[in-house]
Copies of this chain bind each other. A is one copy, B any other.
Amino acid sequence: MLPETLLLRLELMALSDLYTSILDNDRLEDWPGMFVDDCLYEIIPRENEEMGLPAPVMLCDNIRMLRDRVVALRHANIYEKVAYRHMVSGLEFTAAEDGTITATSSYVVVNTSLAGFSEVYQAGSYRDIIVRTEMGLRYKSRRCVFDTLKVQTLLAVPI
C-alpha cells in the first residue's frame, strides 16, 4: 500500500518535471497553462525576500500576464536566446485541510550561451502554492527566490 503522502509526492514530481520540460524544450506557449487563472509568478532576489522588500525582477499576478510575457518574448529581439536546463531537488511539502499544497524545492538552471558555453545561470528556491483543479495540479503561486546576483544575461525568460 502506498501512503497518501508518497502518492502526492509522485504527483508533485510529475508537475515539476512537466514545468521543467516545457521551459527546457522551448514550449513557452504551454507555460501559462501550468497556472490557475488567478495566479502569482515572480522572480525575486533572496536578499529582498529575506528582508521583506518586494522588488521582483519579474512579476505576473494573473494568467493573462503570463500569456502576454510569452507573446512579448516571441516577438522581442532584445535578449539573447536561452537554452535552459533546470535541475530541481529537495522537494518538501505540506497539504492543508482544503487540499492546498505548500511546497519548496531547490533549483539550479544551467544555460548554454549562443557561443556554446554551458554555465550555472541561476541557483535558488521555488516557493510554491499548488491547488488541485479539474485538469490536475496547477500552480496558484510560484515564487522563484534566487541566490545568484551576478547573472550573465538579462533575465527575460521564466525560470
Q: What is the size, in residues, of chain A's interface with B at 8 Å between Cβ atoms?
A: 48
Q: Is the C-beta of A43 less than 8 angstroms from some C-beta in chain B?
A: no
How many Å lie between the Cα of A92 and that of B98 in the bound state? 29
Known: A6-B10, A112-B123. A18 touches B149 (CB 8 A): no
Task: Determine the distance from Cα of A104 to Cα of B17 in the docked complex, in whole angstroms.
Answer: 10
**Which of A54-62, A72-80, A114-122 lies at the interface?**
A114-122
Q: Is the C-beta of A133 less than 8 angstroms from some C-beta in chain B?
A: no
Query: A123 to B148, alpha carbons, bound, how many Å?
Result: 19
Q: Which residues of B are found within 8 Å of A107, using beta-carbon distances?
A: 85
Residue A86 lies at the interface, judged by CB distance under 8 Å to chain B: yes
Q: Are B106 and A24 in contact (CB under 8 A)?
A: yes
**Do residues B86 and A150 form an inter-chain contact, with CB atoms below 8 A?**
no
Q: Which of A65-99 contact B (CB under 8 A)?
A: 83, 85-92
Contacts A6-B10, A6-B14, A21-B92 known; list 8 others, CB within 8 Å: A1-B2, A9-B13, A17-B92, A85-B106, A85-B123, A115-B149, A115-B150, A118-B122
